Amino acid sequence: MTRFLIIVVLVALLGMGAYFYLNRTDTAEGTAPPIAGAPSSADVLARGEYLTKAADCIACHTVPGTGSAFAGGVAFKLPFGTIYSPNITADEASGIGNWSDNDFVRAVREGIRNDGQHLYPAFPYTSYTQLSRSDVLAIKAYLFSLPKISQANKANDLSFPYNQRWAMGFWNAAFFKSQRFTPDPSQSQQWNSGKYLTIALGHCAECHTPRNFGFGLEHGNELAGEELQGWRAYNITSDPQHGIGAWSDSDIASYLTTGHADGRGSAAGPMAEAVENSLRFLNPADAAALATYLRTVPAREGKDPITIDATAAPTLASNNAAPGGDNANADNPGLKLFEGACASCHQWNGKGQQTSYASLLGTRGVNDVHGTNVTQILLHGAGPHALAPNIFMPEFGNAYSDTDIASLTNYVIGHFGNKQGNVTPDEVAQRRKQL
């Protein structure tokens, strides 16, 4: 009996040891590589504003259209319930006005609130942990310079056991490592700046890196693409076939800062938000640095790789005003829908008539046989956004049935991607509920 108790105590001690060892905090202040848009010589508020934009804080902490910047309340619908982002204005009662510098730095880099409770990793402290203390405090200074907004936080709606914040300590032990950014001296300064922008500030991995069974990032599969909240975040590794390895520097820069690259695609959904709220404000040198880093991300195929056919035969056989080689499709309901509602802007040859944003040939959306993002854009529309205020795609979710959307998506995949799409009405019904 005594021996048994000793074993129990030993196992418990080992477990506690492992828990605390895995949850240890990197005590380093951290140094950031040079960021062109936020030089260390600049005023702290100017740096903070740029870094806040580069970190895209506003996207999650501001309900679109309310004008209540950083007052929180944005809903995140996850498989285990709904989380609402908190108020991060300097309001003392409902925001973070009473937080000390150390409180703020700990929340951003370790995921622990000022009351000691764990934050959920919907907040990307998993990426922000790499930030330097001086950058985090510049962001705090900027947030505290903005108007205080009194808006109470909404309570999360999570089921047991996900509503137990302490349990995130175990999640952190398994999937989170507190770690400051360390420059790689064998790489250029530009590359290091790009890496900091990509993995720390831009937290690109949070959407673009596949997640494991426990919703932790698969670091060995960095940026190979993932589906979340009903949208597909594409593979952005250097893989020339499935990633962005074949994109030119100007393609990448144009996509990041305008949301469109000719012959590559146009951002919609969450990526359009990232461009609108964050990436378009990047200094050109920073956008170039980001692209420099992305180019060196090892090529990976990722899950359900998309193979682009940039010379899809049915598209090339068509002219701007009429389909060619689609005789077999003449009675296809997808074709009928396309000719009535889509062709006048997108054109049968996929070039896009009113705007290059409407071009379809060569884009990943129409080459994805699951049609994930195409169905989302059909259902929910796209744009207009600040950069192209008059360019938008109408939403068809209220006009078309699930069967209509499925057959239209499959037709689009066939005509512009030269592949057999496999979207079913049931999948459309699922995606209808998202976003």
Binding residues vs another protein (CB under 8 A):
319-323, 327, 330, 336, 339-341, 343-345, 348, 353-355, 388-392, 394
Q: Which is nearer to another protein, 107 or 343 (CB)?
A: 343
Cβ at position 353, least distance to another protein in Å: 6
Residue 152 identity: A
Report which residue type is found at 339. Answer: E
- In whole angstroms, the minimum distance from the beta carbon of 251 to another protein comes to 20
Give me the least distance between CB of 381 and another protein, in Å please. Answer: 9
Cβ 111 to another protein shortest distance, Å: 42
Q: Tell me whether residue 149 or residue 379 sits nearer to another protein (CB atom).
A: 379
Report the residue number, 27 or 327, with the smaller CB distance to another protein.
327
Minimum distance from CB of 175 to another protein (Å)? 44
Tokens in use for 397?
A: 């979710």
340 Cβ neighbours under 8 A, 6+ residues apart: none
Q: DSSP readout, 402-421?
A: HHHHHHHHHHHHHHHH-S--
* DSSP codes joined into one string, 169-206: HHHHHHH---------TTS-HHHHHHHIIIIIIS-THH
**CB of 341: closest distance to another protein in angstroms?**
6
- State which residue, 245 or 333, has the beta carbon closest to another protein: 333
Count, in order, helices (H) and strands (E) of the chain: 18, 7
If the CB atoms of residues 348 and 416 are measured against another protein, the closer one turns out to be: 348
Residue 107 and residue 136 in contact, taking contact as beta carbons nearer than 8 Å: no
164 versus 344: smaller Cβ distance to another protein? 344
Select 289 or 335, whichever has its Cβ closest to another protein. Answer: 335
Contact partners, residue 258, CB within 8 Å, separation at least 6: 275, 280, 387, 388
Which is closer to another protein, CB of 204 or CB of 335?
A: 335
Across 193-222, b (16+ Cβ under 10 Å) vs e yields bbbbbbbbbbbbbbbbbbbeeeebbeeebb
What 3-state DSSP class applies to 79? Answer: coil
Minimum Å gap between C-beta 325 and another protein is: 12
CB 274 within 8 Å of CB 387: no
Residue 310 or 388: which CB sits closer to another protein?
388
Q: How far is the CB of 337 from another protein (least distance, A)?
A: 9
Least separation in angstroms between residue 323's CB and another protein is 6
| 227-231, long-range: CB < 8 A, 24+ apart | 227/372, 229/76, 229/77, 229/270, 229/434, 229/435, 230/372, 230/376, 230/430, 230/431, 230/434, 230/435, 231/269, 231/270, 231/271, 231/372, 231/373, 231/376, 231/434, 231/435
Q: Kindly tell me which of 355 and 418 has the beta carbon lying closer to another protein.
A: 355
In sequence order, which ranges of 112-166 are alpha helices (DSSP H)? 125-128, 133-145
Question: Closest separation between CB of residue 386 and another protein, Å?
Answer: 11
Pairing of strands 81-84, 157-158: antiparallel
